[in-house]
Amino acid sequence: MMVILMLSEKMTEALNGQANRELYSSYLYLSMSAYFESLGLRGFANWMRVQAGEELVHGMKMYDYVISAGGRGRMQAIEAPQFVWASPVEAFQAVYNHERVVTGLIKALVGVAISEKDKTTENFLQWYLDEQVEEEESSDMVLNKAKTVGSDPRALAAADKELGQRRFKFPSGFDMFPYGRQPEGTTIGSLKK
């Protein structure tokens, strides 16, 4: 397939940089999932693992966009995330804070698209802006839940059960493996009970 080069160098670099941050987000949430696993809170671990899957998709969606616009994906080192948190509340507070930072990064990326007069990329980034609204809302909701639960063991067990219900879903139209059909059973997000 012939691709018309559409992205400026600056735009390509900025998109590759954000794809890296999305993968970092995935890594951060996977680290939190491992933290909750270590506490025996598998529902909390599930919520974080689904979140990690979503961030991976955000990064891949950006990577695919760079390619479809004639650019080249550039892999860079992914920063090591934090390893331990003082409490579930502290971890969820960190999720909320992180999402606020990411919203700022996406807005800055929109700023690059505007300065590069790149309307197509600006439109593409609208999906990420909408996603950030959802992510800030959902992380705030879970943070409040964790605060309410505190250290009450029964409330913690109930919240763990509830967060264990979260399931991963690919965004509509997104193909994680665009090079051909994958074997059955290769879905992200299935958690052994």
- Examine residue 118 and tell whether it contacts ligand OFO (CB under 6 A): no
DSSP 71-131: ------PPPPPP---SSHHHHHHHHHHHHHHHHHHHHHHHHHHHHTT-HHHHHHHHHHHHH
**Binder among 42, 58, 61, 166 for ligand OFO (CB under 6 A):** 58
In the complex with ligand OFO, the residue whose CB is nearer, 22 or 160, is 22
160 binds ligand OFO (CB under 6 A): no
Measured from the Cβ of residue 67, the count of other Cβ atoms closer than 10 Å reads 13
Residue 28 CB, nearest distance to ligand OFO (Å)?
A: 9
Question: How many of the chain's residues bind ligand OFO (CB under 6 A)?
Answer: 8
Q: Rule CB under 6 A: say whether 125 interacts with ligand OFO.
A: no
Quote the Cα angle for 72-66-109, to 5°.
120
> What mask of x and - would describe binding to ligand OFO in positions 70 to 99, judged by CB under 6 A?
-----------------------------x
Q: Which is nearer to ligand OFO, 8 or 138 (CB)?
A: 138
**Is 102 a binder of ligand OFO (CB under 6 A)?**
yes
Beta carbons of 23 and 56 less than 8 angstroms apart: yes
CA-CA distance, 85 to 122, in Å (whole number)? 36
Report helix, strand or coil for 3.
coil
* Subset of 27-46 contacting ligand OFO (CB under 6 A): none
Binding site for ligand OFO (CB under 6 A): 22, 25, 55, 58, 99, 102, 131, 135
